[in-house]
């Protein structure tokens, strides 16, 4: 028995029906001018769906990973100065730029205007086609750790040096498009 300061609450029992069970129940009773199927569909639309996959929108993929997954890396192992790169921590346009690079030794421009070596080394599989590993290196320790530009800017610099202007234009356009979708502030 509840005391005057306590409030008794009762919870209605939960009923779980499948769509077919609800249709059958409605068919066995009068539903007025609505068809049992229409009522069952309206009821089903109001119910919370469990375990719906989120669109997975992030700064790395503002289009959403569920509906527009980022491309895979061209190499099974992509490394930057000895550190493995992963699509989870790369922006879409960075992946596109990394996949478009060609092996070679380059010189990229740092933000202070000085030039730095930048090498791309590819290791192919036994079949000669499969790109097993791409290792990208540039000085980044001690006195070389300052004034670096972004990875995307370095990749675009290398692509320009290779005369890959169509790739540069495509990646710059992609970057501009994705930047408009990214949250600000």
User: Which residue, 155, 165, 65, 68, is CA-closest to 106?
Assistant: 155
- Using the structure block, give the residue that is written with the tokens 């609800």: 22
Residue at 166 is within a domain? yes
151 three-state secondary structure: helix
CB atoms within 10 A of CB 165: 10
Domain total in the chain: 1
Whether 169 maps to a domain, the answer reads yes
With respect to residue 43, please indicate whether it lies within any of the assigned structural domains: no
Please report whether residue 163 resides in a domain.
Answer: yes
Residue 38 to residue 23: CA distance in whole angstroms: 9
Reading the chain (185 residues) residue by residue, the pLDDT tens digits are 555 555 566 676 776 777 777 777 666 665 566 777 777 777 777 776 666 667 888 899 999 998 999 999 999 999 999 999 999 999 999 999 999 999 999 999 999 999 999 999 999 999 999 999 999 999 999 988 899 999 999 999 999 999 999 999 999 999 999 999 987 76
Domain membership of residue 66 (yes or no) is no
Q: Is residue 26 part of a domain?
A: no
For 86, the domain range is 77-181
Determine how β-strand 77-80 pairs with β-strand 131-137: parallel
Residue 23 within a domain: no
Does the pTM exceed 0.75?
no
């Amino acid at each position: 028995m509840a005391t005057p300061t306590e409030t008794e609450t009762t919870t209605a029992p939960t009923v779980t029906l499948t769509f077919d069970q609800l249709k059958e129940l409605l068919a066995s009773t009068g539903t007025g001018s609505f068809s049992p199927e229409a009522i069952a569909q309206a009821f089903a639309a109001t119910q919370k769906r469990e375990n719906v996959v989120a669109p997975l929108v992030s700064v790395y993929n503002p289009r959403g990973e569920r509906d527009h997954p980022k491309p895979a890396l061209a190499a099974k192992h992509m490394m930057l100065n000895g550190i493995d790169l992963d699509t989870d921590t790369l922006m879409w346009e960075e992946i596109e730029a990394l996949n478009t690079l060609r092996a070679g030794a380059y010189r990229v421009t740092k933000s202070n205007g000085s030039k730095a070596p930048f090498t791309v080394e590819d290791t192919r599989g036994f079949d000669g086609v499969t790109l097993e590993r791409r290792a990208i290196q540039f000085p980044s320790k001690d006195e070389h750790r300052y004034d670096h530009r972004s990875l995307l800017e370095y990749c675009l610099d290398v692509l320009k040096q290779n005369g890959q202007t169509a790739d540069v234009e495509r990646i710059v356009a992609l970057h501009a498009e994705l930047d408009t979708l990214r949250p600000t502030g």
